[in-house]
Amino acid sequence: MIYTCYEMVRDCRANQPEGWRYFVANYVPVIRRLLAHYAADDERLVEQVLTSIRKPESSLFQSVEPAPERWFVAELRQKVLAELPEKPVEIELDLEMVGEAFAPLTVVEKQAAWIEGMGYSPEQTGAMLRMAPATVGKIRERAAELIRGKSETWRRSVLAENGRRLGRLAAESRGSECLPAKDFLDILDGRTTWQRREQVERHVTGCFHCVDHFCRMAEVIEVLRGVKPLSEEESARWQRVFGVEAPKKRRSWFGR
């Protein structure tokens, strides 16, 4: 019988040990990968994130959308970043100004520029968006010049420096017409119709909440690529953080 992410969310919500064991084995590696990119490869940070997730008020396991695993990892990503302090920036950008600057860009160009603020190189971004790294670089140079034209103070790294802050503001700006993760995943997986894709892109082009959400879903696909579950020994260590004991092994009549 296959145990799914959907069932894990249900069991963690009900504080069942099966859910927590599955979460530890399969998603601690994801947390490590996210922390290694956004902060540091530090086991203390992993424990900090897990301790926060274990709190009763944690919202991580409250609901499940269609395509639950990648939706879940996108929510987990937000939880990980919420545990990391934002670094102060010298030149602050706001969403309105960035929106005005990026108005001439297409949706995919906005994504290529936005993902720079998420700390990914042109090579990494190209893999996410199925685009040549050189093309990503050219888009980012154009985006930087567009911001320069709207800002009284500027330097080439200003978008990257504001990335965490802009991402938080975009996530908080969700409106009633904003799109679910499934719409973005359908496009990224090549499952959507051209008509639906055009409808999605018409909304996304004027909505930085959905630009950010689209980029996060593209990131999730890459983050999950090649991730392997923890060994039983490693899982047992992190299960103790949750106060969950490893399941007892059945004794074999042939192994006495």
Q: What is the tens place of the pLDDT at every residue in 115-173?
A: 999 999 999 999 999 999 999 999 999 999 999 999 989 999 999 999 999 999 999 99
For residues 199 and 216, give the distance between their C-alpha atoms in angstroms, rounded to a whole number.
20
What's the confidence (pLDDT) of residue 248? 64
Please determine, for residue 246, whether its predicted confidence score (pLDDT) is greater than 60: yes
Q: What is the tens place of the pLDDT at every residue in 212-242?
A: 999 999 999 999 999 999 999 999 989 988 8
pLDDT confidence band for 253 (50 / 70 / 90): very low
Find the DSSP H helices in the chain: 5-13, 17-38, 43-54, 68-82, 95-101, 107-114, 122-129, 133-150, 158-161, 163-172, 181-188, 194-204, 208-224, 232-241
Q: What is the tens place of the pLDDT at every residue in 66-84?
A: 658 999 999 999 999 999 9
Contacts 24+ apart (CB under 8 A), 18-27: 20/239, 20/242, 20/244, 21/235, 21/239, 21/244, 21/246, 21/247, 24/230, 24/235, 24/238, 24/239, 24/242, 24/244, 25/229, 25/230, 25/235, 26/229, 26/230, 27/73, 27/76
Please determine, for residue 249, whether its predicted confidence score (pLDDT) is greater than 80: no
End-to-end CA distance of the chain: 28
